[in-house]
Structure 1
């Protein structure tokens, strides 16, 4: 599965662009501010209907325009188009038919992003790591998304009752019953996923860097020695004072530690980047092995903070994946030995928002 051609209109400073892409590797290079990251952002918008840079759509849509449109022809899924207005309205079309929700779109094209925000997997809050974990669970277990929606609804209603100050026992029991059943199923899906993912992660990590003490610890969001219904009963008075539910899968975490310390407090910036890359690559490799589904990768400024030896190791791992890769860099030279099969690579020079296929124009630097 890969994007053969893409058309981009109305995205930030990019000139209206139509590109013919490599099914394997596409590298966008140029000076900072030229528009390289906006190209990755456009592909992210196509696959996720949202930007990875800002949630405010107005800043994504080009100045003085009212909407953006990104359309593509994919070798497997066909025609895909996403239109977003400056006011945030979304229209998604697949082979000419409107898609009802984002979940179907996200499922069509599994996508991974490695950029400066990826360090949040180590440095950020539990929600950053839950998002990473649930990417894998979502693609592995079809029932997960519906359970997550039900959990959010029951949690919202339970919290509303807690804040109201009028605890109706019968209403509370209705929402807690739903909340408890969804919580258990979500926890089981996460545990089953990690059982397969963690060995894959350690195998990938070992191919990149020697960190034998690094481990992943799963916290399900409540005391593992007690059933959740007992905890909710015990914490209800405290929950009412706080106005929210303290325990449950919405509080889960996937803690990454070196020995007894958080990895972010021990590892160098370069080591952290390699761990993040190992997490993302392993997650995609595991999906590929389990379901034969390739992942689209977006890599923003990968050479930064890495030496040539580790860049080459990353290249070897990336080539083990069957998905399509989009990379940005200022100088393409460090990536010259990244791929063993250079014929699979297409280079694009980005300057002042214009994108030039260097193979066609012959101006590769």
Structure 2
């Protein structure tokens, strides 16, 4: 699976750009602020319907413009896709795949699976459980068709339950919702655990390559004590939840725990090692997707050379190349990437003040 063409209009500092992309490594270089990261962000928008740099999507629309437009041609072994995305400054979006309007952004994610490795990727390790839960759920979503329905229902029921708690409703009023919550929570948790177990099998060898002699343990925590029945726990914690005004335990508190010995990885590893660990997680996730549903991710790698020496740049690029996936990688200096590759990049682009030039 790869993008063959990408067209961008009024996105960040890019007025208009069309890129004919290669199926292998696409190197995009330029000074800071030139617009090279915006190209990766545009691809992410096409796959996720949002930015990986800002929660306020309107900010990516150019000043004095009322909308942004993105278009791409996507090919895989069996089918070609035309994906169009338009976001208005009012917040409304229009998505089309092969000319048909798409109502669910989840359809974009199914069509265009994306892995992102950026300086912000450290949030996976340094921020709260939400980022790690999203990491698990990306894989769970792609690996099991029933996950999305179950997780949507968990969130819907939790919203209803939390409102009842804020209204100081009796447990008899809440009990019906708890039975539904338990049913869907079980499905979500089983899929998540099964996915993390499969991911660990892929992850071990990659971590050994990136971080030899460091034993990183990765485990899944479901969001409540594994020895406790969830239905009984919800009833036992009713008074506590009532005082707090929200549900304190459940699949919405699940997490991915990463440790070296007894220490969290963020306390045991250097920043360079942590970057390699995040890369290992993303590469393992992409390889597992290929194994499970025979579909490659598209890798967006921003500012790859930062905090990595030449040896680890070469190792990371080799691992990325071994996935067989399409890769868009940015750097300030092209030599930082080219010198770390055994073969030249498939395509090279230079970006300056939002203008994109192909380098032959």
- Shorter-chain-normalised TM-score: which range? over 0.9
**What's the counterpart of residue 354 of structure 2?**
353
Structure 2 Cα separation of the partners of residues 58 and 316 of structure 1: 37
Deviations 1:167-194 (A, max 9, x none): 261x412211110001111111111111
**What's the counterpart of residue 363 of structure 1?**
none
Residues 59-74 of structure 1 aligned to structure 2 (within 5 Å): 59-74=59-74
Out of 149, 152, 165, the position equivalent to 1:162 is: 165
**SS of equivalent residue, structure 2 residue 11:** coil
**What's the counterpart of residue 259 of structure 1?**
261
**What's the counterpart of residue 27 of structure 2?**
27
Q: Tell me how far 1:321 sits from its aligned partner.
A: 1.1
Q: Tell me how far 1:221 sits from its aligned partner.
A: 0.4
CA contact (8 A) 1:139 1:287 kept: yes
- Asked if 1:53 corresponds to 2:29, the answer is no
Structure 1 Cα separation of the partners of residues 271 and 171 of structure 2: 51
- Asked if 1:202 corresponds to 2:204, the answer is yes
Structure 2 Cα separation of the partners of residues 87 and 261 of structure 1: 46
Q: Tell me how far 1:341 sits from its aligned partner.
A: 3.1
CA contact (8 A) 2:196 2:219 kept: no
Of 160-169 and 141-150, deviating more is 160-169
**What's the counterpart of residue 140 of structure 2?**
137
**SS of equivalent residue, structure 1 residue 10:** strand
Structure 1 Cα separation of the partners of residues 210 and 129 of structure 2: 25
**What's the counterpart of residue 98 of structure 1?**
101
Residues 206-355 of structure 1 aligned to structure 2 (within 5 Å): 206-342=208-344, 344-355=345-356
Deviations 1:93-137 (A, max 9, x none): 000000120111111111011111111121110111101111111
Give the TM-score normalised by structure 1: 0.96
Deviations 1:126-152 (A, max 9, x none): 111101111111110110000001101
Q: 1:67 to 1:211 in 2, by over 3 A?
A: farther
Number of paired residues? 357
Out of 64, 84, 87, the position equivalent to 2:87 is: 84
Gaps of 5+ in 1: 360-365
Residues 119-198 of structure 1 aligned to structure 2 (within 5 Å): 119-167=122-170, 169=172, 171-198=173-200
Gaps of 5+ in 2: none
Large movers: runs of 4+ above 2 Å: 337-341
Structure 2 Cα separation of the partners of residues 216 and 357 of structure 1: 42
